[in-house]
Structure 1
């Protein structure tokens, strides 16, 4: 989010949330020498693209957290945003166990569920892994049909069992992400499964706690902020939304969050200097799915990529090197 003033010297930009979009925005504000503050409730950026592997590979998790202070120094403030006072233009602050399970049920066959099932089966090939999905097609519908089919083939090759066209009928009554031997799960079509661990990957829930009260008139049904072509929040010229909280019709991805940040920061700078604002335009979908450390499927600008290229480009370390580089730190 950006606070607009009549001059560059008098402007101070507040970035709420240190995810991919927030960090990209902060880095660009830093390079433009615009005054800013990055606020996040954690003390480190979480490269959550690698979170799935961190949940199955011992020792991997520590590499996915990159300290904010070493990158942004005094421009970083740790805290939870309580509300945004748009009148005064101020932000008010408030002071997985896989190893023990012999069988795992992954609920949800979108991109996250597909990657999760592949990670588990790659790291623990002897465990029984079942993926249940309410639709017949796996992964994001924005992907090419050939890419979605290839994701299905990779899962089957790895030994993941697929139960497609089924919904878990009692999901709210089940314990998730906790090993509980011989848990019985039923589907809406009467199928009964027995598993030791249930991992839910059924979709993104947007955390709107920081802004819902201040921007109630600008909220979409899913809690995201409605934005115009310049990524300005509906009804505000000096507030921008990027990443998951921006109501843009495209897959929620780190890659897109970075693109949002570039447009938002450019428009903050342009608004301060009186230049014309630029627009964000969605293009052909680019998406890479890591299917364990040794395989992957994906597409770039609408063109299907060879599996070996995705494995080399993303799956080996899940782009951790990129986040460490952008945070201007050396990976341990």
Structure 2
């Protein structure tokens, strides 16, 4: 396939090694297109399984997959701080510059640990951080989960599944749990599963003074209050709110007309960034009205790489089209709720399809490596 495309002067730079980034890298590799994948971490993080890695001893090493084993010299560890569209290069934090003919921005989202881990670090350091949090869970008798979106719901379920005797409280500012894009019946089912597992729900309330609370560290009998006057004590606090677009690589250098207020990149139907025919955005950082999911990031990558190849051969560019929402929530390793193509799924199917191994096999296969 790659032999049909002239690669003279072609060098695709992929910024971000999340689900969209590795999918783009593998597709570029299969097409024989020269590329460089840049990420601050030494290993791809299958963060779909990040929450379980914090509550299951020894699980974290399964969730990090070294980039070099897959991409070799096409991988560069570093943090991009600037995109120079005039000279067509990206600049790294250490001052290194990498030229591109085409650019794929796949910078994803950032947020609190343990749901996200985007630090400039080694493979072993990343694994150790999850092991350290596991020890905090062991030491705590009660845990507060702040935030009842999909991440908070899954976190509370994971804790209660692995530590059924611990008190788990979930505080959410809204009445409805999980992602608003889910069917109401699925969101209700998620609530029922949490209650079945023994999670205490405090809905329609916000935790006061979050900045004053210590996160991810066991502090016995920490007093927590909400804006509605509820007060309780817990030993460990886990934050599952505050997800934000990771726009630091481009926010200060791309024209303001390209970037939405929330930091997402405005794209056309071909996933090209507004005003640039050779810059694409995939995954969470693309301003597309659909849930931010690993599955969608992979679909974006296929369209972006396909369009880069099409542009080199003079073929018509393809369009990305959103579909009905498919979303699965792992409610611990033994339960799950979700929907496929807009239809609610039986819990046992979600458990078999996602909850048991959290789709780890898919990422190891995508990276062409064997899971430990």
TM-score strictly above 0.5: yes
Deviation track 1:114-137 (CA, whole Å, cap 9, x = no partner) reads 000000000000000011111111
Distance 1:271 1:316 in 2: 41
Matched with 2:78 is: 79
Contact persistence 1:13–1:37 (CA under 8 A): yes
Partner Cα separation in structure 2 for residue 141 and residue 94 of structure 1: 37
Give yes or no for the alignment of 1:195 onto 2:223. no
Residues 1:59 and 2:64 are matched in the alignment: no
| Displacement of 1:171 | 1.4
Q: CA deviation at 1:79?
A: 1.2
- Rounded Cα–Cα distance in structure 1 between residues aligned with 2:77 and 2:15: 10
Of residues 14-23 and 92-101 in structure 1, the stretch that sits farther from structure 2 once superposed is: 92-101
Aligned to 2:109: none
**Cα offset for 1:216?**
4.2
Deviates further, 41-50 or 93-102: 93-102
**Is 2:152 the partner of 1:113?**
yes
Post-superposition shift, 1:8? Answer: 3.3
Q: Distance in 2 between matches of 1:211 and 1:80?
A: 11
* Bigger mean CA deviation after superposition, 116-125 or 82-91: 82-91
2:265 paired residue among 210, 213, 225: 225
Kept after mapping to 2: 8 A contact 1:8/1:273? no
TM-score (norm 2): 0.86
Residue 3 of structure 1 is matched in structure 2 by none
Structure-2 separation of matches of 1:279 and 1:203: 31
3-state secondary structure, aligned to 1:73: helix
- SS of alignment partner, residue 316 of structure 2: coil
Q: Pick one of 137, 152, 172 that aligns with 2:176.
A: 137
What's the offset of the Cα at 1:248?
A: 1.2
C-alpha separation in 1, matches of 2:277 and 2:232: 52
Task: Supply the distance in 2 between the matched residues of 1:203 and 1:228 (Cα, whole angstroms).
Answer: 27
Residue in 1 aligned with 2:37? 38
Moved more, 176-185 or 317-326: 176-185
Write out aligned runs for 1:176-255 (5 A).
176-217=215-256, 218-255=258-295
Q: Distance in 1 between matches of 2:220 and 2:244?
A: 28
1:285-304 correspondence to structure 2 within 5 Å: 285-304=325-344
Deviates most, 253-262 or 194-203: 194-203
Q: Distance in 1 between matches of 2:196 and 2:251?
A: 45
What SS is found at the alignment partner of 2:309? helix
Determine if contact 1:106/1:199 at 8 Å carries over to the other structure.
yes
Shift of 1:151: 0.5
Q: Which runs of 4+ in 1 moved over 2 A?
A: 6-9, 94-97
Query: Quick one: distance in 2 between partners of 1:197 and 1:191?
Result: 17
Mean alpha-carbon deviation: is it higher for 268-277 or for 313-322?
268-277
Q: Distance in 2 between matches of 1:235 and 1:99?
A: 52
Q: How many angstroms does 1:169 deviate by?
A: 2.1
Looking at structure 2, the residues matched to 278 and 211 of structure 1 have their Cα atoms a distance apart, in angstroms, of: 25
Q: Count residues with an aligned counterpart.
A: 327
TM-score, normalised with respect to structure 1? 0.96
Residues 173-197 of structure 1: per-residue CA shift (max 9 Å, x gap)? 2112221111111111111121111
Q: What's the counterpart of residue 12 of structure 1?
A: 11
Contact map agreement 1:39 1:76 (CA 8 A) in 2: yes
| Counterpart-to-counterpart distance in 2, 1:168 and 1:260 | 36
Aligned-residue offset at 1:49:
0.5
Question: How much has 1:7 moved relative to structure 2?
Answer: 5.0
Q: How does 1:246-265 map to 2 (within 5 A)?
A: 246-265=286-305
Q: How much has 1:252 moved relative to structure 2?
A: 1.0
1:282 aligns with 2:298: no
Please state whether the residue corresponding to 2:280 is helix, strand or coil. coil
The range that moved more, 145-154 or 207-216, is: 207-216
Residues in 2 aligned to 1:42 and 1:253: alpha-carbon distance in whole angstroms: 20
